[in-house]
Structures are given as structure tokens and as C-alpha cells.
Amino acid sequence: MYTFEFHKPGSLDEAAAALAAEPEAKLIAGGQTLVPTLRQRLASPAALIDLAAIPGLNIIEQRDARLSIGAMARYAQIITSPLVRKLVPALAQLVEGIGDPLVRNRGTIGGSLCNSDPAADLPAAALALNATLHTNRRSIAAEDFFVDLFETALQPGEILTRIDITPPRRAGYAKFRNPASRYAVVGVFVADTVDGIRVAVTGAGPKVFRQHDFEAALTQQYDPAVLEDIAVSADGLNSDLHASAEYRANLVNVMARRAVNASL
């Protein structure tokens, strides 16, 4: 570690002011990604701004017909929320498969989404469920939120406050996980939403993305069998020590069929 200033604001306005005063500062939520990064000296922010003391940022509630999850809601809170299990049970099931008990008790939904890790599970849920992400300044559709590897549409000074989701008719998630980290080598979230069938893939590319040919096939017939003969191109997919691009392309199809099965 190294010397840095630490701020623990008591309100969103205070957090925004602290961020404006120190543009090189980093927001910290659960710290499951940022703290290891600091320890490895891969990041050296001048200040950390802890969001944990800001009231209301971890509330899970129903707003009209939508499920609203505060950005500081921890994974364990999402898993045990009766409202999440009632309105979007696939989301609770996805979160149950993240990390280990320590990670699930510390990690937050907002921290994961804002990190835009290419192997994280929650971006797939947000994109497939057509979530709306609200900040202290504006509302951003999940379609526009994830820009690139570890990059989102958040502008300097913006703070994610909550995520709103219209409950789908049915949804399911399946992932082939790395046995050590439990991150997704490939994960696929399938959702039958009011806006149609949406299929989001994580782990396979530099960022989460939709698989439109799967969506078209499932719109015609919602059955995993219709996906069997749809080939997935390996072009642009990740290739590393965990899996080649070709292997990931095959996994996208396999995990998509499993996700559809999970939603039935």
C-alpha cells in the first residue's frame, strides 16, 4: 500500500463534492476488486471515497412495477431478499454463484457493474434484463452502459445510485466457471422480457454483449433445441490460458441452452 487520503461521506452530495475536489480519487464500494488492485500497486489514486455510510444506497424495493436495487446492496442482501426472489429469481440464483461467502458478504452490485469486468456475472444480468442504471446525474440503459474492457459510460463525477429492472416473464443463467476464481469463462443470461427475448454473454469477449441470432431463434420457439445448430464465431473472443477463443465460442452455445433450460 501507499499513502492516500480516505473520505467517508455521509451523503451523496458530500461524495460528489469530494470526487469533484479530487478528480484522481476512486470510489470504493465493497472493495473486492479495488483493494487487491491497490495491494498489487496496479492503481495509485490520491484518495479513496467510501460510499458505505451513505444512507439509502443499499435499499431493495419495488418502484411501481420495477425491482429497484441500490448500488450498495451487497450480494448476500440480494440473495436473501424476498423481493428479488419473487420478482427476478434468476438474479438471486446468479448472485449465489459469485465468489465465496467472503466475497458475497462484501461485494456490491454497483461495484461489479461499474468495474465492467469482462468475466463478471452481473453485467450479463443487467444487459439481458434491459436494466436502467441511475446515477446522481442521469439514467443510462444497460445497452449503453458497458463500453469496453473495464470501461463504462460513467463520466467524471458520476456515481451509480440504483439499478431498476422490469421483472421478466422468465429468465435463466448458466456459466462455465473458472474453478479457482469462480469467474465466468463463459456465462449466458437469457431473459424473456417485455421488450422481447434478450441473450447476454459474459466471459467470452472484452465486454458483455448480446447474441442476436440466439434471440431471433428463441423468439420463434422458446426451446433450447433451436440453438443447437447455430454456430458462434470465435472472431473477437478472448483467448487466454483458461480457454481458447474457439472453445469459448462453443461454450456460448452450450451455456445458452443451459440458461434456457434453467428458465423453464
**39 assigned to some structural domain:** yes
Q: Which of 18, 33, 50 is the last residue of a domain?
A: 50
pLDDT digits (tens, 9 = 90+) for 16-50: 999 999 888 999 999 888 888 888 888 888 899 99
Instruction: Identify the pLDDT of residue 1.
Output: 58
% of the chain exceeding 90 in pLDDT: 89
**10 assigned to some structural domain:** yes
Mean pLDDT, residues 227-253 = 97
Q: What is the dihedral of CA 106, 43, 140, 182, to 10 degrees?
A: -50
Q: Indicate the average pLDDT of the chain.
A: 95
Domain holding 248, by residue range, is 170-263
| Cell digits of residue 263 | 428458465
**4 assigned to some structural domain:** yes
pLDDT digits (tens, 9 = 90+) for 49-88: 999 999 999 999 999 999 999 999 999 999 999 999 999 9
Query: Whole-structure pTM over 0.85, yes or no?
Result: yes
Q: Which of 18, 34, 50 is the last residue of a domain?
A: 50
Instruction: Identify the pLDDT of residue 192.
Output: 98
**127 assigned to some structural domain:** no
Instruction: Identify the pLDDT of residue 37.
Output: 85
**43 assigned to some structural domain:** yes
CATH number of the CATH domain containing 238: 3.30.390.50
Judge whether residue 133 has pLDDT over 80. yes
**214 assigned to some structural domain:** yes
Return the SS3 of 102.
helix
Q: How confident is the model at residue 166 (pLDDT cuts 50, 70, 90)?
A: very high
Q: What is the largest CA-CA distance in the chain?
A: 58
pLDDT digits (tens, 9 = 90+) for 170-184: 999 999 999 988 899
Helix ranges (H only) for the chain are 12-21, 34-39, 75-80, 82-87, 89-96, 101-106, 109-115, 122-128, 142-145, 212-220, 245-263
Contacts for 168 with CB less than 8 Å, ≥ 6 apart = 88, 90, 129, 191, 192, 193, 194
**254 assigned to some structural domain:** yes
% of the chain exceeding 70 in pLDDT: 99
CATH number of the CATH domain containing 32: 3.30.43.10
Mean pLDDT, residues 92-103 = 95
For the chain, what is the domain count? 2
Given a contact cutoff of 8 angstroms between Cβ atoms, the answer to whether 250 and 257 are in contact is no
Mean pLDDT, residues 196-206 = 98
**108 assigned to some structural domain:** no
